Amino acid sequence: MQAVSTESFNRPSLNASSALTRHVHRWGFLVVLVLILTSGIAVNLWQRTGDARLSRATLENFPAQIGGWQRFGADQRFDRATEEVLRADDYLSRNYAKPFASGALVASLYVGYYNTQRTGATYHSPLNCLPGSGWILTEQERTLVTPADGAPPFLVNRYTIANGRDRQIMLYWYSGRGRNTASEYQDKINTVLDSMTRRRSDGAMVRLLVPISPTGDRAEAEALAFAQDFAAHVTPHLAPFVPK
């Protein structure tokens, strides 16, 4: 009997396998090509459409009375050089006073709002500007703020800042698109995701300053308590000016 080579059985199988592989690779290439083209079109449309247009109130109309805190003096406007560095579309720099029988505690509120962060304009962190103005930042930590309207509590950045004999408690956080965030990096991630999924990169940086009394064993703890109280009453009023 004539022997039959196993090669004659294996060759058709190998040829079929090669054809199948080429077919899979061809379809895989087409799928990748379609994804690249679709992504390119989506990015192009995203760039053309820009951020969603939002209706909001201007910060000059921020309430003069918030809880037990009352507007104190005129709103402050920065010089042109400072405004060019901040690049905020709208901002508020205002003092509030909390009266006592023996006087009043004066705290500072700054809110810098940006319509979009696509163009490179973004929050100017206090960690960058304060040291250049002679302030020393110490005792960094996160502290909790419980909004006065019953909304969920959230973490903010807390520092003790000093310039000569002047010492203050500073609280700041990033607010916008329904979030209050202490972490600048987490806020950047949220901004990128919201920009792609909601066409929004708007938001604000909120900063509070409360002076620390030069006397008293619990001066710093008391200043922190006042700062938390001030932040708790500021937060519920932000929504018309910093859209959710």
In whole angstroms, what is the distance from residue 182 CA to residue 195 CA?
Answer: 19
Domain coordinates of the chain in residue numbers?
1-49, 59-237
Task: Encode the chain (244 residues) as per-residue pLDDT tens digits.
Answer: 444 444 444 455 555 556 555 655 566 667 666 666 665 554 555 555 566 677 899 999 999 999 999 999 999 999 999 888 888 999 999 999 998 767 789 999 999 999 877 666 677 778 877 877 788 988 889 999 999 999 999 999 999 999 998 999 999 999 999 999 999 889 888 888 888 888 888 899 999 999 998 877 789 999 999 999 999 999 999 999 999 9
Residue owning tokens 């009352």: 70
d(CA 194, CA 82) in angstroms, rounded, equals: 29
Q: Residue 118 corresponds to which tokens in the numbers above? A: 């696509």
In order of 67, 111, 123, 159, 231, the CA distances from 85 in angstroms are 32, 15, 10, 23, 26
Q: Which pTM was predicted? A: 0.77
Q: Does domain 59-237 have CATH number 3.40.1000?
A: yes
- Interatomic CA distance for residues 194 and 146, integer angstroms: 25
